Amino acid sequence: MNRMILALVISGLAVTSAKADAPLVRQWDATVMTRVLQSLGSTDIKTGDFNGRPAITARTRDGLNVGLYAKGCDPAVDATPPVCHGLEGVISYDASQKPNRAVLVDQLNHDYALGKFMAESDGMIRASRYFLLDGGVSEENLRSELNGYFAVGALAARTLWPEPAAR
């Protein structure tokens, strides 16, 4: 029995050590962001840029439209891409048919400590959250943070659409 426990502890340490040796995500990396989104079941993943900075849009497994936007960028030098030390996650909800979006936004901001919900002039409600990469985070941690963000975003969608509906 003691050998079995010892073997489990040693194998656990080996797994922990392997994870600890994984490279940290210290700046925006479209390949890493895409891999994380894919691992979370996101579809329709598109890379590009938004106002001259890298961006990725996708659809979560819950059908929400999400964008990841590089933020905290150092100025680009010559032809090298900017180094960006953070990212903003934005979940967009089409609330154009809702009569009082400001009241909904107040309720969402009160009910969900997700980030910040905003009523936009185009009829959308957007949830925004900033993710720090300074100092480095593991890819597993980034996946966990985005998974939680998307899960709370799906719960918030139920405030807008109590019945399942297209988003």
Tokens found for residue 130: 């900033």
Digit-by-digit pLDDT tens for the chain (167 residues) are 434 443 444 444 444 444 567 889 999 999 999 999 999 999 999 999 888 789 999 999 999 999 999 999 988 778 777 899 999 999 999 988 888 889 999 999 999 988 999 999 999 999 999 999 988 999 999 999 999 999 999 999 988 877 654 54
pLDDT of residue 162: 77
Residue with tokens 């073997």: 7
Distance of CA 126 to the CA centre of its chain: 13
pLDDT of residue 14: 43
The matching CATH number, chosen from 3.40.50.920, 3.30.1460.70, 3.40.190.10, 3.30.565.10, for 24-160 is 3.30.1460.70
| Domains of the chain by residue range | 24-160
The percent of the chain in helix, strand and coil, each rounded to the nearest 5, is 35, 30, 35
pTM: 0.81
pLDDT of residue 155: 93
- CA dist 79 and 70 (Å) reads 17
Torsions phi, psi for 82 (to 5 deg) = -65, 150
pLDDT of residue 4: 42
Residue with tokens 């502890």: 9
Identify which of 57, 40, 81, 68 has the alpha carbon closest to the alpha carbon of residue 128. 68
Tokens found for residue 96: 């154009």
pLDDT of residue 50: 86
pLDDT of residue 141: 96
